[in-house]
């Protein structure tokens, strides 16, 4: 067999494998024997499908025309279904609307304390109305500066500061909950009003890895119940550790009516920039809409990028 034929066969095999890895994991329940592996893979679906296309094309050019073309068509169909599902559960930006507030979310990386002061400076430069920081141990040395600029900063000591919320205006109500027994108080809610009197709920969370079978499903079920309880408008931010097209996020969005960004913002790993996976999200519900959104935190030594979003309220 010629080298060209061998190469075509290897490329076709790689394309078929990438197609399977890109198309199948999000249909596999976490509780199955391969559920943990499926949760690792399903956030990477677009990258596997792109790899499937890149391998199928040269396979067709190297002689396996029908097989290569079939793989390309199958990949495009699977990609079309992925896009369809994402579009159904997302909303485009509304740049024609006037923003009522600016929200910033950032996973600062707990061991990043040497950069804490620079992180706080970058946050203040964005002039947000609401700030949520996951792994806020990183900014604990500079917490005083946040308290000087915001009317409310959620209670925080170095030992217990697992999720921090800071707001320009005092919340009407604020509470924290533990959604799982492994990490405490990584869900927080603030009931707030803008200066013009528009009310809304801000829900912030830092979820565990979705492939931690047994705990992750329980945590997600509790989060769904918490979102169901909130009367709109609602803005939910956080590190969900899953892309919006993954099985856990699709279930969350379907159940609660929350909607994610139509154009996802890649946030992890930060070093990958635009090729990263969008596992940090801004979700909206009951008339709240995102006017503009962009990445935050490049060069701040975290493994995540954050998100700055301007929000319009009904």
Tens digit of each residue's pLDDT (9 = 90 or more) over 165-201: 999 999 999 999 999 888 889 999 999 999 999 999 9
Domain count, the chain: 2
62 and 196 in a single domain? The answer is: no
- Between CA 191 and CA 5 the distance in angstroms is 64
Q: Could you give the percent of the chain with pLDDT greater than 90?
A: 82
What is the SS3 assignment for 49? helix
If you average pLDDT over every residue of the chain, what do you get? 93
Paired residues of 241 in beta bridges: none
Helix (H) or strand (E) run with residue 295 in it: strand 289-296
State mean pLDDT over 126-140. Answer: 94
157 and 73 in a single domain? The answer is: no
Q: Quote the tokens at residue 233.
A: 């408008």
Q: Quote the tokens at residue 263.
A: 């154009």
Residues 6+ apart with CB under 8 A from 96: none
- Given CA atoms 33, 35, 36, 42 in this order, what sign does their dihedral have? positive
State mean pLDDT over 27-31. Answer: 92
State mean pLDDT over 214-234. Answer: 93
32 and 178 in a single domain? The answer is: no
Tens digit of each residue's pLDDT (9 = 90 or more) over 277-305: 999 999 999 999 999 999 999 999 999 99
Which among 272, 269, 205 has a CA at the least distance from the CA of 239? 205
Q: Note down the domain range covering 9.
A: 3-88
Q: Quote the tokens at residue 268.
A: 């992890």
62 and 99 in a single domain? The answer is: no
The whole-number pLDDT of residue 4 equals 66
Tens digit of each residue's pLDDT (9 = 90 or more) over 45-98: 999 999 999 999 888 887 778 888 999 999 999 999 999 999 999 999 999 999
pLDDT category at 211 given cuts 50, 70, 90 is very high
CATH classification of the domain holding 260: 3.60.10.10
Report residue 255 CA to chain centroid gap. 17
Tens digit of each residue's pLDDT (9 = 90 or more) over 152-165: 999 887 777 889 99
150 and 244 in a single domain? The answer is: yes
Tell me which long-range contacts 216-225 makes (C-beta under 8 A, separation of at least 24). 216/30, 216/39, 216/180, 216/248, 217/30, 217/31, 218/180, 219/179, 219/180, 220/248, 220/251, 220/252, 222/177, 222/179, 222/180, 223/179, 223/187, 223/252, 224/251, 224/252, 224/255, 224/256
Taking a C-beta distance cutoff of 8 angstroms, is the pair 191, 167 a contact? no
75 and 115 in a single domain? The answer is: no
Which among 306, 310, 262 has a CA at the least distance from the CA of 120? 306
Residues 6+ apart with CB under 8 A from 21: 41, 44, 48
116 and 78 in a single domain? The answer is: no
- Between CA 208 and CA 215 the distance in angstroms is 8
Q: Of 65, 88, 111, which one is at a domain's C-terminal end?
A: 88
State mean pLDDT over 6-29. Answer: 90
The whole-number pLDDT of residue 2 equals 67
């Amino acid at each position: 067999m010629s080298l060209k034929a061998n190469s075509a066969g290897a490329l076709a095999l790689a394309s078929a494998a990438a197609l399977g890895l890109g198309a199948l994991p999000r249909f596999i329940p976490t509780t199955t024997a391969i559920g943990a592996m499926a949760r690792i893979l399903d956030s990477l679906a677009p990258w596997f499908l792109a790899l499937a296309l890149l391998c199928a094309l040269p396979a067709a050019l190297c002689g396996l025309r029908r097989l290569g073309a079939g793989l390309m068509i199958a990949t495009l169909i699977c990609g079309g279904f992925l896009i369809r599902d994402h579009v159904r559960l997302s909303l485009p930006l509304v740049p024609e609307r006037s923003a009522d507030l600016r929200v910033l979310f950032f996973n600062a990386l707990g061991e990043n304390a040497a950069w804490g002061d620079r992180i706080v400076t970058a946050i203040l430069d964005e002039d947000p109305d609401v700030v949520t920081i996951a792994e806020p141990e990183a900014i604990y040395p500079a917490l005083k500066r946040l308290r000087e600029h915001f009317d409310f900063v959620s209670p925080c000591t170095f030992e217990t500061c697992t999720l921090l919320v800071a707001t320009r205006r005092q919340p009407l109500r604020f509470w924290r909950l533990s959604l799982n027994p492994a990490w405490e108080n990584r869900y927080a809610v603030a009931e707030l009003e803008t200066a013009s009197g528009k009310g809304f709920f801000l829900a912030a969370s830092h979820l565990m890895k979705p492939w931690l079978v047994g705990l992750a499903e329980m945590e997600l079920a509790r989060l769904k119940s918490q979102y169901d309880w909130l009367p709109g408008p609602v803005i939910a931010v956080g590190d969900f550790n899953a892309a919006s097209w993954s099985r856990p996020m699709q279930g969350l969005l379907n159940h609660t009516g929350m909607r994610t960004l139509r154009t996802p913002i890649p946030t992890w790993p930060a070093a990958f920039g635009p090729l990263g996976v969008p596992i940090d999200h801004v979700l909206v519900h009951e008339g709240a809409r995102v006017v503009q959104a962009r990445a935050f935190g490049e060069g701040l030594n975290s493994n995540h990028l954050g998100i700055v979003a301007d929000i319009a309220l009904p």
